[in-house]
Amino acid sequence: MPYHVRLHTTNQPQIEVKFDLTRKELETRILEPYRNLRPIVLGGRTIDPQYLQRVEVVETPHPSAEFGEYVKTLALQGATEWTYGESGAKDVSDEFITTPAIIVLPQRADAIELICSRFHIAAMQLFGAREK
């Protein structure tokens, strides 16, 4: 089953989207850099972890070539329910995306600044989860 990823950033309104990743590609291109606070390269764009607001991972039983007419457009536009109508589409973000462990934080003087820069993102996600 293919995975489809959307990366939301705080510094640009454009959402970066990658369709049809294998499990191995998802791990090596997205999850491993995310967990180790390294930049993610997607669609020719390098996304610095300090600007990464949200990572979405969706699994579907079929490749994006079989998506309905507007699904890809909705994904690129940032629509919340972009997979609406796609049979078997499942948001699996919570299964893969976790907060990086403290032990992988860079051993630099700006580590505290990095933690603080992500605090509001985590707080917003927790607040949003509480409202559901």
> What does the DSSP assignment read for 61-108?
SS-GGGS-TTHHHHHHHT-TTTTTT-TT-EE-HHHH--PPPGGGS-SS
**The tokens 């940032």 sit on which residue?**
78
Element (H, E) at 59: strand 52-59
pLDDT tens by residue, 48-103 = 988 888 899 999 999 999 998 889 889 988 888 899 888 899 999 999 887 655 45
pTM: 0.71
Q: How many Cβ atoms from other residues are within 10 Å of residue 64's Cβ?
A: 16
Residues 121 and 27: their CA atoms lie apart, in Å, by: 22
Q: How confident is the model at residue 131 (pLDDT cuts 50, 70, 90)?
A: low
Helix %, strand %, coil % for the chain, to 5?
A: 40, 20, 35
pLDDT tens by residue, 37-53 = 899 998 888 999 888 88
Least Cα distance to 122 among 69, 57, 52, 63 occurs for 52
Domain range annotation of the chain: 3-131
